Structure 1
Amino acid sequence: MILGFNAGSRTLQQAEHLLHTVAQALGLPGDAIGCTHFVPADAAGGDPHVACSLAVPQSAAESVAESVAASVAASGSESVAGVPADVSWVLGEHRAGPLADGAALAAAEHEARRGGRVVAYPGRDLLTGTVRVGELLGRSAIERVVVLASPDPPGDDVLVATADHVRPVWRDGLMTLQAMPAAGGRIAPAEVPNPTPCCADHA
């Protein structure tokens, strides 16, 4: 079950903060898979922004569905403790809030594994410092590493300088870390820490 939610976040940092806030408020486990998704400007003139999605474990699905249904019934009031009142929701057939279309886009991309920048995932906290590609794949939910502009995947012994900031993306149905060459024959995640806060750069 994929939960989509949207507060019109203008930066990735804002969206990541919202993602962690919602996961905590709903009592989801720390390794729940959560993503950010670029939402383009719409025909009605809505500004581009970043929405979020969370994979809800089966064990928590009923309580999360009840919380979202309560939000729908409350017509936008703060019904989930700790979550801002202006969050729009989509979970299955439940929809609430003026930004629900963006929330639905996020949920659909995550469910199909065709789009989304993965912020939270199993093993994320283990990817610190410098690790080998094989260790990165073995310790986390990341399924593939690709090096930009290279036709060949890196070998398991290639070192990855993580800078403690590893944000894979959904690509071809796989959680994929996009990397770039780094000094000393190493590679590094293509997304650097604290990127320029402009969501339009992350379409």
Structure 2
Amino acid sequence: MTPYALTVDAGVKDLRAADHLIHLLAAELALPESAFGCTHLVRGDRPRVALSFTLPSEPLLRTARERLTAGEYEVSPGVPDAAGRAVIYPGVSSLTGTLTIADVLARSAIDRVTVLGAAEELPPHTRLVTWDHVRPQWQDGELVLTAMPAVGGTLVPFEVPAPTPCCADH
């Protein structure tokens, strides 16, 4: 990652709204494919989801900061933490349908795919059903996608695109 990063605090309360805002702002700012847009859970007195953008150049960072500040967003330098959840990143648009782990790693900025609760490395031919919703997280400087076993020996991303809220049936 580059040092050209900023955080946007828009007071967003949930991940779906944060994902939508990241896509909206990335389009408005005409961010290049090499940009990263992540979510970060902020705890404390005012729990919320902050956004971060990591950009490939200082001029692009300056322009983004000016435009976001003019849009009345709270903008600060850097990222809130090192464990952001990536929503936009190089290659994300190519992660659709069913792909092999080798394809995921070759087509995107994702460095590694792990299976929840498993220690062994995945064979490159293992198939991942993406659901067109692939949200890796930064872990120790690597972009890591956590997956879980699914039907037919495939994997699916741990984060589902439309989760059922806790206690939805009560």
TM-score bracket for the superposition, by shorter chain length: 0.7 to 0.9
Distance in 2 separating the partners of 1:27 and 1:134: 29
Seq. identity, %: 43
Distance in 2 separating the partners of 1:169 and 1:162: 15
Point out where structure 1 has 5 or more consecutive residues left out of the alignment: 72-78, 93-106, 199-203
Structure with the higher fraction of residues in helix conformation: 1
Q: Residues 146 and 177 of structure 1 are in contact (CA less than 8 Å); yes or no, is this contact kept in structure 2?
A: yes
Q: Verify: 1:130 aligned to 2:98, yes or no.
A: yes
Distance in 1 separating the partners of 2:15 and 2:54: 19
Q: Residues 40 and 80 of structure 2 are in contact (CA less than 8 Å); yes or no, is this contact kept in structure 1?
A: no
- Paired residues, number: 162
Deviation track 1:30-89 (CA, whole Å, cap 9, x = no partner) reads 4411000101123xxx2x111100012215133234446xx3xxxxxxx24xxxx3x211
Q: Verify: 1:148 aligned to 2:116, yes or no.
A: yes
**What is the CA RMSD across the aligned residues, in angstroms?**
1.8
Q: Residues 8 and 52 of structure 2 are in contact (CA less than 8 Å); yes or no, is this contact kept in structure 1?
A: yes
| Structure 1 pair 185–124 and aligned structure 2 pair: CA distance change class (3 A) | same
TM-score by length of 2: 0.87
Task: After TM superposition, give the deviation of residue 27 of structure 1 in Å.
Answer: 2.8
1:145 counterpart letter in structure 2: V
Q: Residues 2 and 54 of structure 1 are in contact (CA less than 8 Å); yes or no, is this contact kept in structure 2?
A: yes
1:27 alignment partner in structure 2: 30
Structure with the higher fraction of residues in strand conformation: 2
Radius of gyration: which is bigger?
1
Q: Verify: 1:60 aligned to 2:57, yes or no.
A: no
Distance in 2 separating the partners of 1:21 and 1:64: 13
SS at match of 2:135: coil
Point out where structure 2 has 5 or more consecutive residues left out of the alignment: none
1:49 alignment partner in structure 2: 48
Distance in 2 separating the partners of 1:39 and 1:196: 22
1:152-191 alignment, distance < 5 Å: 152-191=120-159
Distance in 1 separating the partners of 2:66 and 2:49: 25
